[in-house]
Amino acid sequence: MLYHLLKILFQILFRLVFRASVEGRENIPKDGRLILAANHMSDADPPLIGCFFTRPVCYMAKEELFEMPVIGFIIRHCYSFPVHRGAADRAAIKTAVTILKQDLVLGIFPEGTRAKNGRMHKAEAGVGLIAAMTGAPVLPTAIVGTDKIFANGGFLPKLRVIYGKPMTFTGNRKDKEALEAFSQSILDEIARMKAPYENQ
């Protein structure tokens, strides 16, 4: 109930205040397990993606957020689960795999942290590992403009979400280099999708 209420409220906010637009909806699989992987620049990114997505998104979120009274309550009731950053969190990976085996949507930011200046970081191997363990396709998702919200002279920038074509890991899941290369290829595709809108 809370998830759907917030989804409507955020749709109104992003549409009216930030003139948000969405491209590539035809690339979203209608059912089945799916990893939604996006670049990360702002705290606004998860609600921006989630409110326009056709299915509920279960986000992997940093554990510190769950310790915050109001934010923690909200994300707990919006399908999110904690991950300990800076180390391989086996519990978080296990939860992610369980979610995908139920044919749900997992939301993840391959960079592992926000790129506050808009410049994307190197991808962590986690998204590749989870894709390899579950066989779930990865939907590369580009976010444009959230790094300029109330900052860098942007104040109320036009926001954009672009969904690319699903990508599937086909290598050996025990090959660390292959997993890292796949994770990076997702971010490279997101960067390619963002490029035409970078200076708008």
Nearby residues of 112 by Cβ (< 8 Å), 6 or more positions away: 85, 121, 124, 126
Query: Kind of pairing, strands 160-163 and 138-144?
Result: antiparallel
- Reduced to 3 states, what is the DSSP secondary structure of residue 2? helix
Helix, strand, coil percentages for the chain (3-state, nearest 5): 40, 20, 40
Residue 193 CA to residue 143 CA, distance in Å, equals 9
Q: Are 114 and 149 in contact (CB under 8 A)?
A: no
Which residues have CB under 8 Å from 60's CB, separation 6+? Answer: 80, 81, 83, 92, 95, 96, 106, 107, 108
Q: Which domain holds residue 41?
A: 2-197
171-184 CB burial, b ≥16 within 10 A, e <16: eebeeeebbbbbbb
Q: Record the pTM.
A: 0.90
Tell me what pLDDT residue 149 has: 86
pLDDT of amino acid 39: 94
120 against 178, higher pLDDT: 178
Our count of domains for the chain comes to 1
Residues 6+ apart with CB under 8 A from 104: 33, 34, 55, 56, 58
| Res. 118 pLDDT band, cuts 50 70 90 | low
* Predicted local distance difference test score (pLDDT) of residue 87: 59
Q: Which CATH number covers residue 88? A: 3.40.1130.10
Mean of pLDDT over the chain = 89
- Tokens 């085996």 belong to 101
* pLDDT level of residue 62 (50, 70, 90 thresholds): confident
Task: Tell me the average pLDDT across 135-148.
Answer: 94
Cα dihedral 144, 148, 153, 154 in deg (nearest 10): 60
CA 90, CA 185: separation in Å to the nearest integer? 23
Each residue's pLDDT tens digit, 21-59: 999 999 999 999 999 999 999 889 999 999 999 899 999
